[in-house]
Every structure is written in C-alpha cells, then in structure tokens.
A and B are shown apart, each in its own frame.
Chain A
Amino acid sequence: MTQAQNAHVTGTASGNPANGPASDKDKALEVATPPSNKGEHSQPRAKHDSADDNVLIRGLRVAGRSFATVWSVPKARFGIILFSLIILIAIFAPVLSPYNPKQTGFETNAQPSLSHLLGTTASGQDVFSQLIWGGRISVMVAMIAGILSTALAVVIGLSWGYIKSFGGEFVGFIVNLFLVIPQLPLMIVIASYLQNGGMKVIILVIVFTGWAWGSRVLRSQTQSLRSRDFVTAAAFSGDSAARIIFHEIFPNMLSLIINNFFGAATSAALAEAGLEFLGLGDSTTISWGTMIYWAQNNGVILTGQWALLLAPGLMIALLAVSMTFINFGVDRLSNPRLREGSSR
C-alpha cells in the first residue's frame, strides 16, 4: 500500500456526498485556502531560504483570490469602486479643491453658482472645497476607529471564546454590559467629559463604545472552531493557548474579521458624524460632520441653502453605503455556499 494507491482519492471530492462531513468541512475551511496550484507545488525547494518567501507568496495568492471573489459580486464591485473614489478624492483634495476650505472672504451665504459649485457658508467659505477636504477626516476616523475596534474585538473575542475559565465569565460580564448600555448616550457622556480633545478623543470614544458586538460575534465563531480536531491536535502538539488562538484559529476566521472591520468602520463613520453634529468634536476642523454642525447652527434651511446640509450628509451616506456593499462580497468569502450560485 503506497502512494500509487493513495492517489485514488484525490479528485472530485466536492459534490460527492459520500464524503459526508469531511467534504462539508473542507468547503467551510476552503475560505482562506490558497488556490490549488497542482503544477507548482511539486518542485522541491531549497533548504531554508525560501521559507519566508513562500509564506509571503502564499499570503499574496490568498489575498488575490479573495479579492477576485469579492470583486465577482456586483454589489461589492459597486462598493469597491465607490469606496476607492472617496479615498482618491480625499487623497487628492489639494489638487481637486478650487479654494482653500478655510479661506473666508467670499460672499456669505451665496447660492450655488459656477464659481462656488455648492455655494458659500455664513462665514464666506467655499462649500465645495470643504466637501472635498472634509472627506479626509471622515475617512481617516472611520478607518482608524474601524481597525482599532476590530483589533480589540479580535483580542477579546478570541481569547474569551477559547479559554474556558472564570476569567471568561468575567469578560462575558463586561461585554454584556457594553452591549446593553445605549451607545449614543454613552458616547455623548464620555465625549463631553473629554471635551476639546480633538480627533483622538472622538476615535477613542468610538472604539471604546463599539468593540463589544464584534467580540461577541468572533467569540461564537471561536467556540465553534475550538472544538475542531486540528485545534485539539495543536494542543496535543504542545502549543500554548496564545499560539493556538493566533496561529490556528485566527487565520481561519480572517474573512469574518474583515467583515467585522467594514461593519465597525461604517458605524464609526456614522458615529463620528453624529458626535460632530452634536458639537462634541473639534468644530474648527473641517469634516463632513462639522459641516452639518455649522450648517445647522447657521440655519441654512431658513436661508434656503439646502446644499450645505445635503452634500455632506450624502457623502457620509455614500461612505457608509460603499463599505456595506463591500461587505456583501466579504460575506461570500466567509460563506462558500453563497459562492456556488443561487441554486442551493
């Protein structure tokens, strides 16, 4: 009994119910598996040097294939294009904006015209330029707060899900506490305590109030993965809990984590706008949230300058929409069943 006979079983394992649970699991885990590169892998490789290289190439291949999967979903394609557009506008703001956004001295409360596409504010600033510059803060806050709260959710969710002990109960209590406290009032209370701290405070407040849901979701997935044989096997191989969490479990839920990131970033963008609209941010910076704050303060509805409210509001909505749409594609990544088409 050697390899020649072993070779029978490769082949059309998928779609063969006789494999039962095995093939199902294979499918579920396929998510982050690199593409089958049947031709390449058989080359013997040099002793040591290519080890890191290999990991890098494998990582890139996974990323490439994951992107292709997300891109294949029309909704996600729309989201990616929209999102890239917003990012590009934010990056090239100095080139794109016709005026300095803080420059005063134009005619005040002007209606939209060719020289001021969206009109001017009560203090005589060009609204269109503000709109272009304002994206920088909004996108940056969304990204940073999204990354930080996801990181916090990952660390707490994964260890909470993996370690069964009294510590777990305690973490559970804290998470549940954060889940039941209404987020907006909590944010308002904290932000008004730490007034005038600028963007950093806004980000911290959003992260502090927004991590709990993600950690709850990631914990559930961790609990389901921790009973898999390969996790038990790693424990038998003598790996520590931390190593098992980050080397065995974490890579297998990457798509769920990315999903969580876009969700967190979306709510961060909305929360940032909300806090600034309430005047809890730094009202001297220019962001979409502060634009609405000033527009409201100056009663633009009464002067008929609808664009001052609508334009930044629409941009915030588009940013949130783009990330939500990207998540449709990421969903497909984490649930391979969605990949096979609508037939099942």
Chain B
Amino acid sequence: MSLLHIDHLSIEYDTPGTEPVKAVHDVNVDLEQGEFVGLVGESGSGKSTLGFAITALSRPPARVSEGKVIFDGVDISTLNQEELRKQRRGGFAMVLQSGMNALNPVRTIRNHFMDIFKAHEHVQKDRREARAKELIEKVGLPANTLNRYPGELSGGMRQRVSIALALSLDPKLMVFDEPTTALDVLVQHEVMNTIRELQKSEGFTAILISHDLGIVLESTQRVLVMHNGRIVEDASSREILEHPKDDYTKMLLSHYGDPRAEHVSVPGLRTRENANEAYKENAHAEDNRTALTVSHITKIYPAHKRGDGEVRAVDDVSFTLDPGQSLALVGASGSGKSTIAKMITAVENPTSGVITLGSKHIEKMHRGRDLRALRSDIQMVFQDPYAALNPLHNVEYILSRPILNYTKLKGSAARNRMLELLEFVGLTPVEQFAAKLPHQLSGGQRQRVVIARALASDPKVLIADEPVSMLDMTLRAGILALLDDLRVRLNVSMLYITHDLLSARLITDNIMVLNQGHVVERGETSKVLQHPHDDYTISLLDAIPKLQVGEQA
C-alpha cells in the first residue's frame, strides 16, 4: 500500500461567467513511504495546483473535477475541516514559496511553535520548550532564534523557521512548493542542503515542486515532469538525466549548461566565438559613439537607525564600457549591482566618483533637460515584465511614447517606426501585436515589448537588470539571443546585471564580480568563470545546480 495514491486526478479553475480552465489532466501517481520526488514544470503547467490538491488546500475557483487523492488509505476529499486539521499532525504538511512571509510579525518564533503544540497537544507541556529548541536546531538555526521576531530574521532564516514549523507535527508527507525560489542564490543552495539532510534523517516522504530541473535532479530520487497539466514523464532522476524519453524533458535538459565548461551552448543562442565574429563584420568603421566610463564611484547610504553604521552599497568601483561591448555585473543580492545601475541612469547620485558618457557627466545630474538627453542615450530593460508594462495601455501606446519624446518622428512616420521596432524584437504580425494589451501577452512577449521600448530612442547603452530571471527556462534563450543580436546589429553596449552565471557566460564578453560593493574579480567572462580565483566567485559557481544526480539516487 503506497502512502499517496493519486488516481485519475483532474482539476479545473471554474470562475463564474467564464469557461472552466483545466489545469491538471488525468494524473496518476503513487508515492511510497520515504521517497523524495521532484515535480518539475514551467509556470502554468499545473504543478502548484497539483501540490495544493495533494495537501487538500485547493480553494475555489480551483475544483477537483475527476479522480481522487488517497493518502494513507483515506480519500482526502471526504475529510471535513476538523478531520483535516487533526490529520495535519502526522499527516501532510506544505512549505510554500512565500512561507517566509507567513509568520506573524508581532509574535516571537517561540510563540509560533507553542501555538502548534497547544492546538494539537501532542507534546507534553514540560517538553514543549525542549522540542521547539530541537526543531529549530534541526533546520540549522541557533536556539536563541526562538526569542526573536520574524522581522529580525533574514528571508532564508524565516524559510527555515517555516520548515521547522511544518516539521513540528511529524508529517509523513511534506510538499515543498518552490521553497527557495524567492531566496538569494547562495541562501537557496544552503536551504536546499538543509531540506535534503532533513529528509534523509527524518525519513518523511517529500515532494519538491520546482521550475528548476537542476535543483530537483540534485535532490530527488524520482522526477515527475509536468507539461500543460499532464505528467509527461515519471522516472528515476538518473533515468531522466541520462535517457530522457519525452521531447519536452529533452528540451528542458538542453537549456542547462555549466558556466565553467570550456564550451557552453544552449539551443537558439550562438556561442560567444560566433557572436563576436558577427560583431566584427558588423562593426562600424567610423564609430562616433562614445564609451561609458565609471571611475571610483562610491555610494554610502546613511544608517537606518541610530547606532547602526552607514551602509557602503558601492565601494570604489571603476570600469569602462566600450561601444558595442557587453559587460556582466554579477553578485548575490545586496552586492551593490543594482545601485550601480541606478547611478548610471542618474536615478541616484554617487557619494563620490565620476561617471561619464562621452563628454557628459552623469554623476551630478538631477532633473530637467540633461537628464532627458541622458535617458535617450541610456535605456533600461526591467527585470519583471509583468510590472514594467502599464496594464491599461496597449503596445502601440507604450512604444510610441519614447518615439514621440525622443525622436523627431510624428504621425505615420512614428507609427512606422513603432511597427519596425516590433518586427525587430520578433513580435509579428506587427499590426496585431500593436493593438494588444499587456495581459494578452505571455511573459516572453511582454519582455520583448520592454526591450522594444528601450530601443525606441536609439540608445548607446542598454542596462539589462536580470532581464530573464522572471521567465521560464525555455523562454530565456530567446530573450538572451535577442539582446545579444541587437547589441551586434545596433552597436549598443550592454551592461548585463545578473546573479545567473550561465546567462552571463552566454552573452557577455567581460565580467565583474561584486561582493558587498567591492569588485572582487574581473576579466574576460570565459576565463573568469573557467578559472575563478576569488572565494566568492567560487561559492557563486558552486551554488548553481549542476545537471547531475545527487548522491541520494
């Protein structure tokens, strides 16, 4: 008898007044006691919907239309609220992506544990304190964390607390829904290690839901690949890695690469060597564009509270970005990379140092005409394509604003330019896309609109701030190829800000690694990543999930 038996399960989203949308189609899965299974799929594949259904957390408009979930011999759809609540002890638990935000900010971590113990009364009163301590140490936090409030803990620590809370009821089944996606790269690596160790020592059955096949392969013994609501492949991790059967799995796998390898390639993207040849062919003989020079900039923020020290976000950073060149700025969050972007775009002014674009000094710009001229030269591609487009304006309006503001084109000439931009970013047929509203576009298409808007003023420098981190793996290559292509064709220089070393390796020539505002390593991207010297660079590289099966399998 398996612990979890999912039998022909289908789930629909049934919003009144619209056609029901089938999110999960006819899923059949059996899970044995103690198994660690990964559930992989892109956004919209139905993996979280399935995860919620397994833990009986489905809420309207989601509705189980067919099939059932049998956990430990009981059909969970027959349980009422009170039975569900009782079974959460020794039953199933879930850790959410936003679990770190689910803690009550005005109660200490100890109170969170005590609430659970009180509700289920499964721990003797005099044992509770010891048990809380034991649990918090299990997830790798010091015992005095119990005295602290959620606001005093970092995101990674809070996610650990939420894992410990889920563990406090001795669940047989734990569902982790993207437990590390909202965390920083380095922290993500550590939290995943903790989850792996816990699973081994506690022996609970675990399902790890993730969009990242690399993370899943590293941790789990068996992988379910989900695509358009169906499980397209169900095999052991080794099998998936070495002999993938489904085309979709193969496609997912092809988008991984090791940035440390000598040659890295991803389908849809030319290798660096080819890219640079193309660039040389295309290079303009008389280059009247000018380089962006940053010299010795420092940004100091005043202390948050009295008693705290001031914050040195960026400390004595210098670099030059020649026309048509691409430079990667990498580092974990808080390393100062976004602050540098803000100073280059004159959103913030540096505390000291000089930034020039040709003869223009950027470091002292505030408002007015100078800033406007600067903005037409330096444009930005935003991280989140869902937030960067006003939901109420159509693509035509969004693209025509910079054209009307920065170029002298008007009327039909401006409109033709708008259509040309759409064609350039590959949104054809252009007339159709021009009339669309952002919510009618997919994430990848939205990001193309964002890029088209950045190109409208014919800029000299493009700052791309994590342009693909919100997109699905398979869409990334397309956007990266587009960025690389336009750098070559339009002779734009690009500052590529990221924590993702693989994409940096794929589209940049040079790299700078930032740690707490300092440049710790710089040089040619391929050389730095193949032979890193600084410990920080090495730890960043180590944190990347490699396509290999962990020791568990």
A residues in contact (CB < 8 Å) with B: 1-3, 5-23, 25-26, 29-30, 32-34, 36, 38, 41-42, 44-45, 47-48, 54, 228-230, 232-239, 247-248, 251-252, 340-341, 343-344
CB–CB B443/A9 < 8 A: yes
6 A-B residue pairings within 8 Å (CB atoms): A8-B442, A9-B42, A26-B391, A41-B435, A236-B402, A343-B60
CB–CB A19/B43 < 8 A: yes
B residues in contact (CB < 8 Å) with A: 13, 21, 23, 42-44, 46-49, 59-62, 96-98, 177-178, 181-182, 209, 211, 228, 267-268, 345, 347, 372, 375-376, 379-380, 382-384, 386-394, 401-402, 405-406, 412, 415, 426-427, 429, 431-432, 435-437, 439-440, 442-445, 450, 453-454, 456-457, 470-472, 474-475, 477-479, 481
* Alpha-carbon distance between A149 and B254 when the two chains are bound, in angstroms: 60
CB–CB A5/B386 < 8 A: no
Residue of A nearest to B46 (CB): A12
* Alpha-carbon distance between A237 and B376 when the two chains are bound, in angstroms: 8
CB–CB A44/B442 < 8 A: no
* Alpha-carbon distance between A340 and B59 when the two chains are bound, in angstroms: 10
* Alpha-carbon distance between A46 and B471 when the two chains are bound, in angstroms: 33
CB–CB A239/B59 < 8 A: no
CB–CB A18/B435 < 8 A: no
CB–CB B211/A18 < 8 A: yes
CB–CB B387/A17 < 8 A: no
Contacts of A29 in B (CB 8 A): 391
Contacts of B437 in A (CB 8 A): 33-34, 41
Contact pick for A1, options B13, B211, B372, B481, CB 8 Å: B481
Residue of B nearest to A235 (CB): B375
| 19 extra interface residue pairs, beta carbon distance < 8 Å, beyond A3-B445, A11-B44, A233-B453 | A3-B427, A6-B444, A6-B445, A8-B42, A9-B42, A9-B442, A11-B21, A12-B46, A15-B48, A15-B61, A17-B178, A33-B392, A38-B440, A45-B435, A232-B380, A236-B379, A237-B401, A238-B406, A239-B401
CB–CB B390/A234 < 8 A: yes
* Alpha-carbon distance between A20 and B384 when the two chains are bound, in angstroms: 11
CB–CB A230/B44 < 8 A: no
* Alpha-carbon distance between A251 and B384 when the two chains are bound, in angstroms: 21
- Among all A-B residue pairs, the 5 with the closest Cβ atoms: A1-B478, A238-B405, A22-B386, A237-B402, A6-B444
Contacts of B454 in A (CB 8 A): 236
Given contacts A18-B97, A18-B211, A20-B98, contact A228 B268 (CB under 8 A): no
CB–CB A18/B426 < 8 A: no
CB–CB A9/B439 < 8 A: no
Given contacts A18-B181, A30-B391, A237-B456, contact A6 B59 (CB under 8 A): no
Residue of A nearest to B396 (CB): A51
- B11 CB to closest chain A CB (Å) equals 10
* Alpha-carbon distance between A15 and B59 when the two chains are bound, in angstroms: 9
Contacts of A234 in B (CB 8 A): 390, 401
Contact pick for A13, options B43, B228, B429, CB 8 Å: B43
Contacts of A247 in B (CB 8 A): 393
Name which of A1, A16, A247 has the most chain B CB atoms within 10 A of its CB.
A1
- A51 CB to closest chain B CB (Å) equals 8
Contacts of A2 in B (CB 8 A): 426, 478
Given contacts A18-B97, A20-B181, A22-B384, contact A341 B44 (CB under 8 A): no
CB–CB B380/A236 < 8 A: yes
- B65 CB to closest chain A CB (Å) equals 14
Contact pick for B59, options A33, A251, A343, CB 8 Å: A343
Residue of A nearest to B457 (CB): A238
CB–CB A12/B23 < 8 A: yes
CB–CB B387/A9 < 8 A: no
Residue of B nearest to A225 (CB): B390
Residue of B nearest to A2 (CB): B426
- A249 CB to closest chain B CB (Å) equals 9
CB–CB A18/B47 < 8 A: yes
Contacts of B96 in A (CB 8 A): 17
Contacts of A8 in B (CB 8 A): 42, 44, 228, 442, 472, 474-475
Given contacts A1-B268, A237-B453, contact A54 B435 (CB under 8 A): yes
CB–CB A344/B59 < 8 A: yes
* Alpha-carbon distance between A2 and B423 when the two chains are bound, in angstroms: 12
Residue of B nearest to A343 (CB): B59
Contacts of B42 in A (CB 8 A): 8-9
* Alpha-carbon distance between A12 and B13 when the two chains are bound, in angstroms: 8
* Alpha-carbon distance between A199 and B437 when the two chains are bound, in angstroms: 45
Contacts of A235 in B (CB 8 A): 375
CB–CB B384/A26 < 8 A: no
- B252 CB to closest chain A CB (Å) equals 11
Residue of A nearest to B440 (CB): A41
CB–CB A12/B21 < 8 A: yes
* Alpha-carbon distance between A32 and B475 when the two chains are bound, in angstroms: 29
Given contacts A36-B439, A233-B382, contact A252 B390 (CB under 8 A): yes
Given contacts A6-B475, A11-B44, contact A230 B453 (CB under 8 A): no
CB–CB A230/B13 < 8 A: no
Contact pick for A230, options B97, B345, B388, B479, CB 8 Å: B388
- B88 CB to closest chain A CB (Å) equals 18
Contact pick for A33, options B49, B391, B472, CB 8 Å: B391
Contacts of B392 in A (CB 8 A): 32-33, 251-252
